[in-house]
């Protein structure tokens, strides 16, 4: 029997250091946003298939979608797409998306996070021992400070993905396959009287494994995928 192998990933939660903490003016905006699929103790998404002799088959599929949006104070309902942000995004929200912002509004800030995680696994055998294990963890963090008027702007974001697949078969004919598919995206943008700040991170990953064999043969394989991004921005 294949030993179960789990993946554990920690997303570094980087706190933005706002040196002007004692002099923050009313009207400034501070936002924090995070998502996590899995932690140090438990894998986030996993499929385990085990066939032991006999004529048998098995399959499983999982699909997880995460969508986080927050904004303050003017962009109360941002469209949630990266194309809405970037330089001049505050005026774009007012003119193009009709969310009722007032021209006198000094500070605007918005954050979005999207994650789409898909897992598929299948196995089929005849008098064989077949084990298919696939796991996937993901997480993202954003920290944003947009100061009032011409005060500084600060943004931090991290994004991470870990995935692993272990396939093994022996004895009779048969095999199996596994797929991990992940698309992670997060964006944050803000502006005040002194200008705008913008950050965006994307991880697009595909992991597939397959094994097959005849009677009296043994096969085993393992694949691991890890990706992380980190960005820090200070605008004065």
pLDDT in tens, 46-99: 999 999 988 999 999 999 999 999 988 654 434 444 444 444 454 444 343 333
CA distance 132 to 51: 9
- Exposure class string for 85-123: b at 16+ Cβ within 10 A, else e: beeebbebbbeeeeeebeeebbbbbbbbbbbbbbbbbbb
Tokens of 166: 């272990």
Is the predicted pLDDT of residue 29 greater than 70, yes or no? yes
Question: Which of the four pLDDT bands, split at 50, 70 and 90, describes residue 16?
Answer: very low
Is the predicted pLDDT of residue 234 greater than 50, yes or no? yes
pTM of whole model > 0.85? no
**Short-list 192, 167, 169, 166, CA closest to 30:** 192
pLDDT of residue 9: 41
Q: Which residues pair with 49 in a beta bridge?
A: 132
Question: Which of the four pLDDT bands, split at 50, 70 and 90, describes residue 23?
Answer: low
What is the pLDDT of the chain when averaged over all its residues? 82
Three-state secondary structure call for residue 138: strand
Domain boundaries along the sequence of the chain: 26-235
pLDDT in tens, 177-223: 999 999 999 999 999 888 899 999 999 999 999 999 999 999 999 99
Tokens of 168: 């093994």
**What order of strands is seen across the sheet that includes strand 195-213?**
55-73, 108-126, 174-192, 195-213
- Residue 99 sits at φ, ψ, to 5 deg, of -100, 15
Cα radius of gyration rounded to whole Å, the chain: 23
Three-state secondary structure call for residue 82: helix
- Tell me the pairing of strands 195-213 and 45-52: unpaired
pLDDT (average), residues 153-161: 96
């Amino acid at each position: 029997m294949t030993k179960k192998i789990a993946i554990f990933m920690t997303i570094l939660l980087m706190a933005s250091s706002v040196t002007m903490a004692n002099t923050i003016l009313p009207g400034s905006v501070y936002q924090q946003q995070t998502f996590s699929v899995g932690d140090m103790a438990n894998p986030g998404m996993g499929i385990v298939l085990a066939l032991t002799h006999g004529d048998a088959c098995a399959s499983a599929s999982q699909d997880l979608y995460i969508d986080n949006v927050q904004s303050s104070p003017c962009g109360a309902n941002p469209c949630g797409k990266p194309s809405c942000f970037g330089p001049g995004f505050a005026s774009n929200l007012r003119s193009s998306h009709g969310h009722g912002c007032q021209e006198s509004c000094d500070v605007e800030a918005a954050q979005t996070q999207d994650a789409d995680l898909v897992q598929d696994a299948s196995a089929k055998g005849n008098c064989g021992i077949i084990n298919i294990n696939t796991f996937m963890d993901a997480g993202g963090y954003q920290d944003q400070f947009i100061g009032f008027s011409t005060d500084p702007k600060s943004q931090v974001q991290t994004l991470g993905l870990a995935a692993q697949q272990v396939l093994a078969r022996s004895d009779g004919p048969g095999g199996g396959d596994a797929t991990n598919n992940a698309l992670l995206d997060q964006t944050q943008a803000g502006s005040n009287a002194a200008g705008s700040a913008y950050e965006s991170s994307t991880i697009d990953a595909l992991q597939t494994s397959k094994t097959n064999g005849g009677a009296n043969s043994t096969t085993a394989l393992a694949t691991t995928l890890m990706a992380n991004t980190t960005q820090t921005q200070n605008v004065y």
